[in-house]
Amino acid sequence: MDGTPLVTIHLTAPLRPYSAGAARLSIAAGTVREALAQLELNEAALYRNLCDETGALRPHLNVFVNSDNARDLRGVDTILRTGDVVTFLPAVSGG
Give residues in contact with another protein (CB under 8 A).
14-15, 48-50, 52-56, 58, 60-61, 90-91, 93-94
Distance separating alpha carbons of residues 5 and 86, to the nearest angstrom: 12
Specify the residue, 26 or 93, whose C-beta has the smaller distance to another protein.
93
Dihedral over alpha carbons 29, 32, 35, 41 (to 10 degrees): -130
Specify the residue, 5 or 9, whose C-beta has the smaller distance to another protein.
9
Is 36 in contact with 76 (CB distance < 8 Å)?
Answer: yes
Q: Measured on CA atoms in the order 64, 18, 61, 3, is the torsion positive or negative?
A: positive
Specify the residue, 3 or 56, whose C-beta has the smaller distance to another protein.
56
